[in-house]
């Protein structure tokens, strides 16, 4: 079925949506990520790209599959597409990204990270951003310190997922000690 615009040109009833890459480390997926991704899903077909997918340390406590599950828990009715990119220094990050997600599979990239924006511009890849959402509070590094308010800083499905699934890492120890358990006590999966 075709419709006529006011200009008199014909357009298809279902216009092709642009494809947007939405990269991030998502350590963890917090409320700012949620709000920005929710907004972009209204306008674009989104491919979520999990960065530093191969790194597991204090600053990257969640595996790429765990981060994917957290994001999916926030959008249960959406069939999100995902990609994963291993860690790469700034100078090779775009090349690493394009190995994981070929250029022909997306039209533009969303990022508020100035370093990412710079590298994308150097490779002539269109990038959009938006104002940061409560950056002083919603910042992964601060949330990974697991203050008492951490559950307010992540979407409810993420908080529930973390409480249900994570064992044996520093943030679990902090959660347990905050609830009266000895910090050295490690909860097994069956106890979670």
Residue 108 placed within a domain: yes
Residue 10 placed within a domain: no
Residue 143 placed within a domain: yes
Domain count, the chain: 1
Structure token pair of residue 115: 């370093």
Residue 191 placed within a domain: no
Range of the domain at 21: 17-178
Structure token pair of residue 153: 């800083």
pTM recorded for the entire structure: 0.76
More confident residue, 152 or 183: 152
The candidate with the shortest Cα–Cα distance to 31, out of 124, 148, 149, 187, is 149
Q: What are phi and psi of 114, to 5 degrees?
A: -60, -35
CATH number, domain with residue 143: 3.40.50.620
- What are the DSSP calls for 80-136, one per residue? -EEEE-----HHHHHHHHHHHS-GGG-SEEE---HHHHHHHHHTT--EE----SSTT
Residue 12 placed within a domain: no
Q: What is the C-alpha separation between 40 and 43, in angstroms, rounded?
A: 5
User: Which residues, other chains included, contact 27 with Cβ-Cβ below 8 Å and sequence gap of 6+?
Assistant: 52, 59, 60, 61, 62, 67, 140, 144
Q: What is the pLDDT of residues 26-77, one digit of tens each?
A: 999 999 999 999 999 999 999 999 999 999 888 889 999 999 999 999 999 9
Q: What is the pLDDT of residues 119-155, one digit of tens each?
A: 999 999 999 998 766 656 667 777 777 778 788 889 9
User: Which residues, other chains included, contact 25 with Cβ-Cβ below 8 Å and sequence gap of 6+?
Assistant: 50, 51, 52, 60, 67, 140
pLDDT on residue 119:
95
Q: What is the pLDDT of residues 66-95, one digit of tens each?
A: 999 999 999 999 889 999 999 999 999 999
């Amino acid at each position: 079925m075709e419709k006529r615009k006011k200009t008199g040109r014909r357009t298809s009833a279902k216009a092709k949506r642009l494809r947007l890459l939405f990269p991030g480390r998502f350590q963890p997926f917090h409320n700012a990520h949620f709000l920005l991704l929710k907004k972009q899903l209204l306008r674009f077909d989104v491919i979520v790209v999990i960065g530093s997918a191969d790194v597991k340390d204090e600053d990257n406590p969640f595996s790429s599959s765990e981060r994917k599950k957290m994001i999916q828990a926030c959008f249960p009715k959406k069939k999100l597409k995902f990609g994963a990119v291993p860690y790469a220094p700034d100078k090779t990050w775009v090349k690493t990204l394009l190995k994981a997600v070929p250029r022909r599979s997306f039209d533009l990239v969303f990022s508020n990270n100035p370093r990412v924006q710079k590298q994308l511009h150097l490779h002539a890849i269109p990038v959009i951003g938006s104002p940061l959402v409560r950056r002083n509070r919603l910042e992964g590094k601060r949330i990974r310190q697991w203050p008492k308010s951490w559950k307010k800083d992540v979407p409810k499905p993420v908080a529930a997922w973390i409480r249900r699934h994570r064992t044996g890492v520093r943030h679990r120890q902090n959660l347990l000690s905050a609830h009266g358990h000895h910090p050295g006590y490690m909860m097994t999966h069956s106890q979670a």
